[in-house]
Chain A
């Protein structure tokens, strides 16, 4: 079994699990799903530099290095995704505390009624 297969299948499994959880009906599993999707996307981006073992992009006398650019991009992506997760969690929390209900979907009503009530 090759490393490439391991990494690719890990990306696939993380995506599938993330996608399934994103489609759940409560906020917490959806947040978990988004986190899993984040892992999948980060690893996917990282893998676009191809897999290199034992050659970190720290300049030495070596001749081959891992591709540094995807690493730099993923590094900021990891930090940004923390910010995003925090915001999503905050929104979920606000919604739960405000409505005492952590469902992600709006209750099924006729949107026209909602508009009329709002105005």
Chain B
């Protein structure tokens, strides 16, 4: 089966349990089981190639430009982990079917489980590290959902949050580390990275990359000092604990270290960090586990300890260590999953997991007893069970490892860890199952149905088989080890045997087991000492750190973001000035290359008007109507400036925009107060003035400097000038740039304009449908109204002007390609013509004569522009390639037909629609209840006689 399908199956299947939820628990679990089984069988179809030592690969280029390709590969290491994930997954699904209570939402559970499974399979089959990172984050997220599955339990929510925080933090570090690694190797493909051992280890960035990657691996695999989240994640339902925390998620960090072993391992840094962390975790986890009374907490800390053991083995950097690590992963997955499931059975049947309330279950739950006994003895390292073999390999490796000088340190710590490990295993068996039968169990214990005990019992088979006949596992483990080692080292020759002779590891093993038994006999006094000793509580520390982080974030946010716009504006302004100042002081400025052009009296007069209007605006801004007039002068002078400086198109655009803007602001001022009150203190005004002067001075200095200097490289507009006529068929270069060279920009801009207009329309609708509507309808105008709202002269004049305006607009539009003009300007001109009708003849009269809604006009404009662009696809050209030709219809002169004109038509329509929709929305707000909108264009019409002076609704009386 294709690797893609193996990874995709759990994700696709994740939808099914949710859908099957109503079909019953059996169907729900059944479909999940089937999906996993299909993926598992798919994996097994690749077994022959893997056994032959081949690497199965497949891939598609997704974003090759940034090295992100969905490449998958399956070698022995990936196969090993995928087999654990899917195989144990099958058992867990069967177990969960019987474990979950009737009130639990099974569809939700299995959906999360399959999501998690898919993410895990994705991690172990990824060939591209960017893809691996995506799956890595997915496991953090889906495990968050699984751990917090029992949403009603506060411990579940807290545990899930803690797990997400810690593994999410590690995930961030991992992203950084992987990106550095990819940069050093020059590729994000694992197969390439793994070939570059020397390059990577010699790079100065090796250490930061290593630290960040290890941060990711250690948090995921609960290594000291990040081990604390794992026990809290035990608030999850037991199937989750058994799955995530024995075989899969916590092994992801181990997998990563094994995957990158050939390029990262073998250096002193790797050895020091990984071995130390592993050793500490192993001993610490084992010691804490001994004193835990909750069965699952005991198993959780024992998992922490065993993960430390595997980490330590990978840290030594020898081929033998790697082989022992792989072997122990296999063994640990089998006995630990069985133990977790058994703990769940005990909890399920006795309603407690507290060891102090248990004991004497041996006769009551014989099947569970035997499962636990085999699994726990294997974990303790008793011969003829698989845990013994890998533990002895570990001790042998530890015996040969020297850290920080003294040769005895590592072996001694390894023995200490194994000793406590043996002790808690013995305690688990004896305090739960041995001893006298009690009569105060919370529920009467008995063995569960086969649905619950069969999955762990199946796991006991490999525990015993491998334990008695290690040579069965040897070829496979060596194959996996070869995949881990790559070209970096040779697979060791050592054989897997129960009896190695009287080697040091055997003595260490015996010492550990005997020591464990001794510890168990003196457990009670030990426990008293343990309880009396002060210990830091990880959860309290974690919560204090989180609270401190939240407080810091809150202080920062409240300091910067207190809802005061003025403050944001000031911060933004000052920051920009500061950044500009920094650039100014650190950069270099060349000598002036242009000579200043002399200014005549007319230009100076224009400048004075502009400056006077601007200063007047600042001084008199409290009078709002006056400030509108003043800003009109500013706009006019800017337009004049554009004319003077050879930009006729800009001048036409600016002056038409000026008209519609002023109309818009007048409409708005209709509602807003006429004056701004004096509120700010003198100090504040001085401060604002200082910021404003700094900003003004900065822009002045910057523009004055570049105006006196030529561009440092030839402007690209040389190209536009040279090709405007040849390639675009127009002599107005600005218009050709708009509709041709940079047509895609323009296309985007008309869309933005249309969206802005629609936004205004939507806001108006919201206002008019809310509580504001009543206030608007009943508002009293604050100024007396003119007696004649629609003066006859104006109505007549605008109607006469209308065709003329349309003609001018049409003319401006047509000549746009060769002379100043074009769609933008024509659109604005036509809008002004239509707005005049609204102003002169009234809203209702004009709307009633409107043939097309403005939304439609905007849409038609964008559509025409877009279709013009798409049209070029039919000629095999890229989007918006323009073409033109000259045609001659006999009585007329030769004229030009260009597709760009069609595009410009789209621009024209979009602009008309957008401007009109905005203005129309504003004027809709202005309608009032007691003033009836006249159906007639003029208030006074001698031929009409229906006006009743007594009618208060008569517009004639308005303002009287």
Contact = CB atoms under 8 A, between A and B. Distances in A.
B30 to A, nearest CB: 41
Contacts of B594: 4, 50
B597 A3 contact: yes
Nearest to A10: B610
A104 B566 contact: yes
A53 B641 CA distance: 10
Interface residues of A, number: 90
A3 B596 CA distance: 7
B704 interface: yes
Contacts of A59: 721, 724-725, 731-733
A91 B763 contact: yes
B952 interface: no
Interface string A37-61: 0011011101111111111111110
Residue among A27, A56, A60, A94 having the largest count of chain B Cβ atoms under 10 Å: A56
Nearest to B707: A4
A23 B691 contact: yes
Most buried by B among A2, A13, A19, A40: A19
B563 A111 contact: yes
Contacts of B151: none
Contact of A97 (B596, B673, B757, B776): B776
A93 B737 CA distance: 37
B874 interface: no
Task: Give the interface SS of chain B, mostly helix, strand, loop or mixed.
Answer: helix
B650 to A, nearest CB: 6
A118 interface: no
Contact of A53 (B610, B646, B760, B770): B646
Contact of B653 (A16, A75, A87): A75
Given A25-B680, A90-B763, A8 B635 contact: no
A56 B647 contact: yes
B718 to A, nearest CB: 9
B561 to A, nearest CB: 8
B628 to A, nearest CB: 8
A46 B639 CA distance: 12
Given A65-B721, A106-B562, A48 B699 contact: no
Contact of B671 (A65, A72, A96): A96
B603 A78 contact: no
B700 A86 contact: no
A33 to B, nearest CB: 9
B742 interface: yes
Nearest to A103: B679
**Count class of interface residues, chain B:** 35 or more
Contacts of A79: 653, 657, 749, 753, 824, 828, 911
Main secondary structure, interface of A, reads helix
Interface string B636-660: 0010011011111110011001001
Interface stretch (B1-9, B243-251, B508-516, B914-922): B914-922
Given A24-B676, A105-B566, A44 B749 contact: no
B772 interface: yes
B824 A46 contact: no
Given A32-B621, A67-B715, A93-B925, A75 B707 contact: no
A86 B660 CA distance: 10
Contacts of A27: 672
Contacts of A31: 665
Q: Which of B566, B649, B700 lies at the interface centre, i.e. has the most chain A CB atoms within 10 A of its CB? A: B700
Contacts of A87: 756, 759-760
A75 B566 contact: no
Contacts of B737: 68-69, 72
Given A52-B645, A87-B760, A75 B703 contact: no
Given A4-B704, A8-B707, A108-B562, A72 B734 contact: yes
A86 B767 contact: no
Nearest to B825: A75
Nearest to B558: A111
B631 A16 contact: no
A57 B703 CA distance: 22
B716 interface: yes
Contact of A57 (B599, B635, B671, B733): B733
Given A15-B692, A39-B635, 17 more contacts: A3-B598, A5-B599, A10-B610, A11-B703, A13-B614, A20-B692, A24-B566, A29-B676, A36-B617, A36-B631, A42-B638, A46-B642, A68-B734, A78-B653, A87-B759, A104-B566, A107-B563
* A-B pairs, 5 with minimum CB distance: A16-B696, A12-B700, A2-B596, A106-B563, A83-B756
20 contacts: A3-B597, A4-B704, A8-B700, A12-B700, A13-B700, A16-B693, A16-B695, A28-B627, A57-B734, A60-B731, A65-B646, A69-B715, A69-B716, A79-B653, A83-B918, A86-B664, A98-B771, A104-B565, A104-B566, A105-B564
